[in-house]
Structure 1
Amino acid sequence: MYQHEAIITLEEKIVRLERTFRAPLKLVWEVWTNPLHIEKWWGPKGFTNPIVDFDFQVGGSYRIVMRSPEGIDYPVKGKFLEITPYQSFVMSDLVDEHPDEWVKEVQKIAGVTGDRSMLNSKLRVLFEETNGITKVILITEFMSNQIRDGFANSGMKEGWSQSFEKLEEEALPETNELIIEKKLSHPIENVFAAFADPTNINLWWGPNGFTTSTEFREFKVGGKWIYTMKAPDGTIYPNLVQYKEIRDCEYLEYIHGSGSTEKDDNFIVRITFTALSENHTIIKMKMTFPNSSVRNSVVDFGAIEGAHQTLSRLNQFLVTK
């Protein structure tokens, strides 16, 4: 059942928050674990995230700098303690770098004194999907019930509720869309050239274990790319790309499908290239499907994982160029 409002309950040393989203679990997981998405929604309304470092692996560190509308920074950091893909992850939440004024205010509300480390916590994030609706459960464990109550009474529910609203409005795509974003460690000219290359694109295009064979390719507006992809199990997938718009080092738009005349399986792909720095490029791939059912089935089939693997293969390919 879809529940728009966040629900908060208190347990022994724990604040539990629940909220549902009208999106498949894999898509919600993506916006929770990809730093390019996290920077859009983390923190209350009006806050921005100028720094999001997110090494999402067990033992990896994260650091998110939340900046208030007044320009005050509230850095949070920690490590990933557990990760069960598409089920849950656990992270430490350390307030070492939070402003002294914030620390004093929370301690005052909680009625405690002492080192700021007593405000550190552990956050477990769980994901559950039912009929295309995903429930996210946050379980934050504190050092004592007194500190738990201090956080609960200092706007914790309001802050997370606003973050959830931003997640839904600014990070999750429309119900018939899928958006993949990834930062590559190469200049924008090299990244775009790899997409335009008629021969070497076969060396990196496709998920891990897949091989791509091009039958015909004409990289121009109105041109076509006809190719097949062979899966690790030997299954052959025919593909037809029809280019609609090309702007050098900036934008690609094309219709993608199987090329079959017996079924209408086309969808639109829009790729935006943005130079983050001289040697870093952000790729944003936006796929628009006929309806939400088609989008959801593509997500279930592994489209998110496949797109990330393809872009990772591109990143590695460019290292050898």
Structure 2
Amino acid sequence: MTQSVVLNNTASNAAGEGRNGFATLVFERDMAAPAETLWQAWTAPAARAVWAAPSPAVTVEFLEADTRVGGREISLCKVDGQPDMRCECGWLDLQPPLRSVNYEVISCEGETQSIALVTASIADLGESSRLSVTVQLSSLAANMEGGYRDGFNAGLDNLAGAVERTMILQRVIRAPRSVVWGAWMNPETLPQWWGPDGFSCRTTRIDLCAGGEWVFDMIAPDGTVFPNHHLYTDVRPNERLSYTLLWGENGPKHADAWASFEEENGATKVTLGMVFSTAAEFQEAKGFGAVELGQQTLGKLENFIKAG
């Protein structure tokens, strides 16, 4: 959330406003998505990158992203003609899918602008959810309160739009995390199980690393060919990977996606998330059965591991 805050406050910083001391700010939004979907959009680095920037004029560059207790997220917020703002978020408590606590430190050119403690609570309302965020803010160098109010409001508006086009698939696989990760991130095995029942993959290029890609065709049982291009943006062994889905080689972006792997009583909980580029694409995908087809894909992964 820091990305939205600092850039909405840049103008007031430049105007040289004085220190504002301490403030407690409260924000609340109803979200048209279940609690688990909202949790993933709130915490998953690939999803946070989708809704972080408050406007198209802002560029957010993520330098580090580690969403676990003790982990941190570091980003640079950039606007033409203005100095970069460094945003550090450290995760102090994560209780999926209901609560997170993190600290935020905002600095510019080596000078700390503010420090905040951010507590987010998610109420599960069935097919919808409610996000409540409390910010305990200490402004150190300038009046940040107005920027935080504008920034969080812009960020939560972006988040509300993102969750409406986010699809989450989960499956618990009775195998160690290293085994599940190995089946996913092996260029020889990934094409063997990827895709719904009856589909096969024909690979053109595959390089499963950050900055790598997978160019391939998915072939339906009736012979229909669906060109795909995955661009891998982040890979953390045995934990998660993030990638961009394109419609065919170097085609238009279809979605921002990620897969995470969590140990769960000797098994592995796999979460596959996708934030579609538009609400129309999400509805189209949901309409043709993307949830069911995605679960078939994870089922094929499980069967592949069992057979091995």
Normalised by the size of structure 2, how large is the TM-score? 0.49
Structure exhibiting the larger radius of gyration computed from Cα positions: 1
Q: Higher relative contact order at CA 8 Å, sep ≥6: structure 1 or structure 2? A: 2
